[in-house]
Structure 1
């Protein structure tokens, strides 16, 4: 019997407390499931591992719907458009080839495994300081004192943001991600700051990503101003928010699974396995950034009509029992974990995957070694919820 679905069930508060039950039913349905999103748009949910992979590779599923559907066409990007809208239109995660290929190629060299490995000692020193401060404090918050300081400082170091400017860098990131009324103001202020930083690097180049990007102006491979702002904004937000989420959720999962926490304390080299299982079990991205079907598309035993939205669930794919043994069990010893797709797949595979893995592995190693008595503190009744971002996690050393 095919499961029945409410028209907007995915956004129901009861489902939001545990969306994995919903994704189990989508996989059981054996086809994409139609939902109506909060804006009233048709939204087809795909949750099987093989089907999500197929859709991520499908040439007729992508972002730039205006190139394929005349009714969705908007005005070309130009200075007459609102500044925030212009910057949003140039976000790498919202583009298809050829623009996506060109822009990704400009920054990808800074995020290879070899390039990222050079930061290991620097990240380890930062992690050691955070763990030492936490041990002295006795009471702390995982977000504020352990997870948050790592990625924002690493991304700032890569881009070339001077240390005194980094608190503002973090504040802009939080405001932009919040999608609140402050987000457009933060975007404009962030853009103005990057204009100043780019001007400084043109005058005095340094060994950082901003210097590399502005140097390309002399090589005929120039980014326009909105592209540069959009690229750095994406690096900040994607590199900051998702890595914080990964570290905090890893801590939460370890402390709510005492046998796994004990195993890591006894063998801190399991930290890399903790990273991968956290990504699989509760990765930072539930559904990939919105995509569209450019034509009628056959996926997973069903048809998605042309120009409808497509919701590819990484959470659903990473709990697929056809791929993972006992998928709803958090197990850092599992042998099938590397098949997860928490970082996506294909041309939109997460640019910062190597960096996120390195930062998180080092943090879990140092926490296991330096804070062996770490435990949850305060009211923990909501820790089984599946909010997209854990805004606080009180701990006691």
Structure 2
């Protein structure tokens, strides 16, 4: 597909970078980095046609590539809303979007109500109760591969920790772990033939996977109303905040959000982290010299360069302006976190992996505003604990082959990653 015109103003995009083309996202990281660098400097707010999908294509979207503009959009939720779509470019029916996206796909006051109820239970204090369990899980996972000398880092290590943590926190029994992982892979990997055949009815597959996760949660939630335990589901189904409770539908959609976002984003940050340490042995040596000292900044730097969520969508609620560009009511905007986190206007030598980088105002957990990631604290803990265990027991662990990447423009995913130690 070739698009473009002679001016970087108006509804067009340059013909040298096509963000609507899946081949761009399947190509080398270096090509992607160069493409976004050129966009940020020459054409920071291009307008692209929507990619091909099973749904009718809309008019297109503005690609927000600079850090300052991503932050600006995030801070103006009244003008750039989430309720018309946040995790998808086509316009899905509202009920469909909220079923898979929960509060991510909502605006205030509904967003505020749901987040207030959830955040009263999903707090750093509550997460701290599980920290010992996180450490035990990481030790068990690394211990099971330690004598093998090699493994698939994604399936054997990176994917297992967030899956266990989220399921344990929610009270999902271990027998259902693989069921949950399979359905989350289907939802995130809907465009990847490893998870969903190309000739499948993608909408039906998506609804089936989501429905099965919802049924699992609904059954457990119903039981926990009369038989509460020390888990998040029990806290949520029995929570009463100023007379308000979650409905069964809200609880189910929040569970889908939690297991999909909690599993996929953290496992991909951990996977990219190993690649970064392999490619930068000086930074590995520095972290090994004093793990606890460098852990906080190292984890933030991993998240910055990994950018597990590549973009989030917003929609203009009225005619407005962004970076000198007129934006019309109803226009879609994609905030490219992956690009913003490499903006040389904010990050010195942005492609360099520097575990001492401070400050590090990345947007790997989203920009400032009401939709900043509720699970950021948990993700930081999981990444820290996993690398403490890995570098403590397998200090020479390294990538030993080419990664198999998820076919997606939304998630910067790694499906398989051979490693040796």
Normalising by the residue count of structure 1, what TM-score does the alignment of the two structures yield? 0.88
State the partner residue of 2:185. 174
Tell me if 1:6 matches 2:15. Answer: yes
State the partner residue of 1:64. 83
1:95 is displaced (CA, Å) by: 0.6
Tell me if 1:100 matches 2:111. Answer: yes
State the partner residue of 2:352. 329
The answer to whether the 8 Å contact 1:110/1:116 transfers is no
1 CA distance for matches of 2:228 and 2:320? 48
1:117 is displaced (CA, Å) by: 2.3
2 CA distance for matches of 1:202 and 1:130? 33
Tell me if 1:45 matches 2:63. Answer: yes
| Counterpart selection for 2:34 from 9, 14, 21 | 21
State the partner residue of 1:81. none
State the partner residue of 1:282. 306
Per-residue CA deviation, residues 26-46 of structure 1 (Å, 9 max, x unaligned), is 221365211112144311011
Where do 5+ consecutive residues of structure 1 fail to align?
67-71, 78-83
The answer to whether the 8 Å contact 2:40/2:66 transfers is yes
The answer to whether the 8 Å contact 1:325/1:336 transfers is no
2 CA distance for matches of 1:375 and 1:23? 28
State the partner residue of 2:295. 271
1:207 is displaced (CA, Å) by: 1.5
- The equivalences for 1:347-358 within 5 A come to 347-358=370-381
Tell me if 1:146 matches 2:157. Answer: yes
Secondary structure, aligned partner of 2:416: coil
State the partner residue of 2:193. none
State the partner residue of 1:395. 419
Secondary structure, aligned partner of 1:45: strand
Deviation larger for 33-42 or 308-317: 33-42
Deviation larger for 7-16 or 159-168: 7-16
Describe the shift of the 1:284–1:218 C-alpha distance in structure 2 as closer, same or farther (beyond 3 A): closer
State the partner residue of 1:33. 46
Structure (1 or 2) with the greater helix fraction: 1
1:294 is displaced (CA, Å) by: 1.1
* Greater relative contact order (CA < 8 Å, ≥ 6 in sequence): 1
1:123 is displaced (CA, Å) by: 0.8
- The equivalences for 1:192-211 within 5 A come to 192-211=215-234
Secondary structure, aligned partner of 2:301: helix
Q: CA RMSD in A?
A: 2.7
2 CA distance for matches of 1:218 and 1:52? 33
Per-residue CA deviation, residues 159-184 of structure 1 (Å, 9 max, x unaligned), is 11122222222222222222244332
State the partner residue of 1:87. 99
1:336 is displaced (CA, Å) by: 2.9
The answer to whether the 8 Å contact 2:405/2:415 transfers is no
1 CA distance for matches of 2:277 and 2:319? 44
1:292 is displaced (CA, Å) by: 0.6
Describe the shift of the 1:8–1:38 C-alpha distance in structure 2 as closer, same or farther (beyond 3 A): farther
Where do 5+ consecutive residues of structure 2 fail to align?
1-5, 86-90, 191-195, 197-201
1:63 is displaced (CA, Å) by: 2.0
Per-residue CA deviation, residues 257-313 of structure 1 (Å, 9 max, x unaligned), is 11112222222222332211111122111112x211111221112122221110111
Tell me if 1:118 matches 2:123. Answer: no
State the partner residue of 1:340. 362
